[in-house]
Amino acid sequence: MEISRLVVVHALVLACAFSCKSNSKGNAENNATSKNIAKAQIGSFGDQGDGTYINPILNADYPDSDIEQVGDTYYMITSKQHMSPGMPILESKDMVNWTNVGHVFESLSWAPEYNWDRMNGYSFGTWAGDLAYHEGTWYCYQIDYQHGLMVATAKDIKGPWSKPIIMLPKAKVLDDPAVFWDTETRKAYIIVNTAGKQKSPDNKIEGNENRIYEMSWDGTKILDEGKLVYTGMGAEAAKIYKIDGTWYIFLAQWTMGDRSTKPGVKNPKNDRKQIVLRSKESIYGPYEVKTVLEKGTAFNNRSASQGALMQAPDKSWWYMHQLIQNDTIPFQGRPQCLEPVNWVDGWPIIGIDEDNDGIGEPVKQHKKPIDGYPITAPGSDDDFSSSKLGFQWEWNHNPRNTHWSLTERPGWLRLKASKILPNEKGYGPNINEWTNNDGSDSDFWRASNTLSQRIMGTTTGIAVAKFDISGMQSHQLAGFVRYGGVFNLLGVEVDENGKKHLFYMDPMAQKTQGPEITGNDLYVRTSNNSNQATYEYSLDGETYRRFGPTFTIAFGKWTGDRLGFFSWNEKEDAGYIDVDWFTYDYDGPKATKS
């Protein structure tokens, strides 16, 4: 089968076993060199080094994938709401091993609520997008729920990308665009979930409306009022393909086994499935409809849908999709799974039909689509020796760029403390933007320049960082944070007399004060065994002491748990903290620093 455009959108106890990290950058670099020549690391997910992979292959918070193939390389985008830079880009040669290569949006520049002095764009920003390559230009389409449908373009996937152009206002669209250029007719189209925003009283079908608009050939303008092609419960995340002359629209849709809860709310009786619309006549239909993927036994009733169709060099078909949050919610977020696709009577059946009902279910382990490429993974460890941040790092909202630096002290990340934003309307999160509300008025959510990266996997992991606290000033708090649905901090607080004390802060901002710290160096180590995590600290990098309780890390606010650094001041812009290095070991494929 030939595909006329491969645009697939969307829009996922070790702590004891690991040795303590070195207290010197020199030793850390030597350790990294040893890893580079050692056998590639494998673990409980991803490439197994034997020609197979275990799902999820990208076991971290990379939701709403879309994938475009150019040459022998597959490129993926995923959403990340208010994090900045926005819309991460990853690449792979074999669909299994993915590395970070950039972001589409250097900053969330189109609205003031994403800036460091507002920080009230939580849960909005970049949502599920569509990545496309057309006549030498890259396109990224996405809908900000607050601002509408937009597109950014680039000549190189790694940038620079243009500032986004608004194509449709928020009054008309909800989310999840996908585009298609039909070279036979020289017409360009975009499908969008318009939900109920344009719904006529004559449409009695329950659920979201999905409309197709004609675009200009350069992909930047809408040319008509759109035509309704499908309505369904929670129907969104469309992708358009034309294969062997037949039109296919992939859609994610809810099946409600229990109407006491809404789509997406934790309930094992409800299932988000992947459906396919098929028409031999026109992109506008009429369409036949079939379910091609549903939850199975591999992931304990966790729904699977919303992803991208791909083809390997041997012409086999594959599908990348996320696991989502309708049942037990893993604390790592929404990871990505890779499934084989088998064509049956002209329908793409995704995964393995384990119950013989004509619908596919996800696989847990499978043969890789493409052999011969090395095991790799998104970046994690950092010694901050570069003049630019690694692509694994993202800020909580757009940072205050005058208040962080990699050059003021070469080889260190400096985080200067800004005064905490006011706890009043217009600053920080609004309650209705959150999937769990506890602690939403805490200072942490209104502290600019919090920097973090995703955790990997759900079994075990350990992260360590070395800090220099000599630049801290009175009323400053700084240190290490784990956060997603909830936050837990371990750091140093400086009192009005300049004394420094260790402290732990829980999700409700309750502080437990620890011993006074008189030296300059502080090492923080955090470990998790499943969703139970702890903090330890050290003054010499050798002997670690536990501080604070065992706490639960959690998915929430549409975000999985993250690891990173914070620095704020309760009274004024004063003080800074320096980070020398960060290491992270976990139960899965590990990238080595070159």
pLDDT, position 436: 56
Note whether residue 378 is domain-resident.
Answer: no
* Residue 321 shares a structural domain with residue 415: no
Contact 360, 337 (CB under 8 A): no
At a CB cut-off of 8 Å and minimum separation 6, what does 2 contact? 243, 244
Question: How many distinct structural domains can be found in the chain?
Answer: 2
Note whether residue 375 is domain-resident.
Answer: no
- Beta-ladder partners of 308: 320
* Residue 353 shares a structural domain with residue 465: no
Q: Answer whether the bond into residue 286 is a cis peptide, omega within 30°.
A: yes
pLDDT, position 27: 39
* Residue 67 shares a structural domain with residue 120: yes
Last residue of a domain, one of 349, 367, 385: 367
* Residue 184 buriedness (CB in 10 A; 0-12 / 13-18 / 19+): exposed
* Residue 88 shares a structural domain with residue 201: yes
3-state helix, strand, coil in the chain (%, to 5): 5, 45, 50
At a CB cut-off of 8 Å and minimum separation 6, what does 351 contact? 293, 296, 304, 319, 339, 340, 360, 361, 362, 363
Residue whose entry in the numeric block shows the structure tokens 């006074």: 516
Structure tokens at 113: 């609520």
pLDDT, position 437: 55
Q: What residues make up the domain containing 185? A: 7-12+33-45+62-367
Last residue of a domain, one of 367, 382, 414: 367
At a CB cut-off of 8 Å and minimum separation 6, what does 71 contact? none
Note whether residue 401 is domain-resident.
Answer: yes
Specify the CATH number for the domain of residue 233. Answer: 2.115.10.20
* Residue 235 shares a structural domain with residue 300: yes
Contact 52, 366 (CB under 8 A): yes
Note whether residue 474 is domain-resident.
Answer: yes
pLDDT, position 263: 85
pLDDT, position 32: 36
Note whether residue 388 is domain-resident.
Answer: no
Note whether residue 28 is domain-resident.
Answer: no
Specify the CATH number for the domain of residue 454. Answer: 2.60.120.200
* Residue 571 shares a structural domain with residue 480: yes
- Beta-ladder partners of 578: 414, 468
From residue 14, give the alpha-carbon distance in Å to each of 191, 478, 517, 523, 529.
45, 27, 29, 19, 7
- Beta-ladder partners of 352: 361
* Residue 400 shares a structural domain with residue 354: no
Contact 10, 68 (CB under 8 A): no
* Residue 262 shares a structural domain with residue 197: yes
Gap between the terminal Cα atoms of the chain:
40
* Residue 322 shares a structural domain with residue 419: no
* Residue 287 shares a structural domain with residue 421: no
pTM for this prediction: 0.92
Residue by residue, pLDDT tens for the chain (594 residues) are 334 433 332 222 333 333 333 333 343 333 333 333 346 789 999 999 999 999 999 999 999 999 999 999 999 999 999 999 999 999 999 999 999 999 999 999 999 999 999 999 999 999 999 999 999 999 999 999 999 999 999 999 999 999 999 999 999 999 999 999 999 999 999 999 999 999 999 999 999 999 999 999 999 999 999 999 999 999 999 999 999 999 999 999 999 999 998 887 888 889 999 999 999 999 999 999 999 999 999 998 789 999 999 999 999 999 999 998 777 778 999 999 999 999 999 999 999 999 999 999 999 999 999 999 999 999 999 999 999 999 999 999 999 999 999 999 999 999 999 999 999 999 998 765 555 556 788 999 999 999 999 999 999 999 999 999 999 999 999 999 999 989 999 999 999 999 999 999 999 999 999 999 999 999 999 999 999 999 999 999 999 999 999 999 998 888 999 999 999 999 999 999 999 999 999 999 997 654
